[in-house]
Amino acid sequence: MLPICATCGKEMSISKVGVCVVYYLRDGNPYYLVRGDAVSCPKCKNTVVVRFGKKKEHYQLGFEHELQAALANEANPPIIAREG
Ligand SMILES: [Zn+2]
């Protein structure tokens, strides 16, 4: 079941699969990246990312390479999330 928009009471629908989220700490350092699916409300168009896969943490092998690839992906740009 997909999320229900709390404002409109409508079931949200998938608007984009495999959206990358890059999470930054308050100090500006990237902490992890993760992929999920974007779902949108058909009425108000509010969009959230849900159904996350496994996180790639900053200390894991290949993190920097994946981060740079995600940031350079103009066709499917990442969502930048920030702590606090
Ligand atoms: Zn809505």
Provide the domain limits for residue 63: 13-82
Q: Is residue 7 situated within a structural domain?
A: no
The alpha carbon of 17 and the centre of ligand 1 are apart by a number of angstroms equal to: 19
Pairing of strands 79-82, 56-57: unpaired
Gap between the Cα atoms of 26 and 48, Å rounded: 21
Q: Is residue 51 situated within a structural domain?
A: yes
Q: Is residue 5 situated within a structural domain?
A: no
Pairing of strands 47-50, 79-82: unpaired
* Residue partners of 21: CB distance under 8 A and separation at least 6: 33, 34, 35, 36, 49, 52, 78, 79, 81
Q: Is residue 8 situated within a structural domain?
A: no
The alpha carbon of 31 and the centre of ligand 1 are apart by a number of angstroms equal to: 31
Query: With 90 as the cut, is the pLDDT of residue 24 above it?
Result: yes
Query: With 90 as the cut, is the pLDDT of residue 84 above it?
Result: no
Phi then psi for residue 36, to 5 deg, are -150, -170
Count of domains observed in the chain: 1
The alpha carbon of 40 and the centre of ligand 1 are apart by a number of angstroms equal to: 8
The alpha carbon of 22 and the centre of ligand 1 are apart by a number of angstroms equal to: 25
Q: What is the pLDDT of residues 45-80, one digit of tens each?
A: 999 999 999 999 999 999 999 999 999 999 999 999
The alpha carbon of 38 and the centre of ligand 1 are apart by a number of angstroms equal to: 14
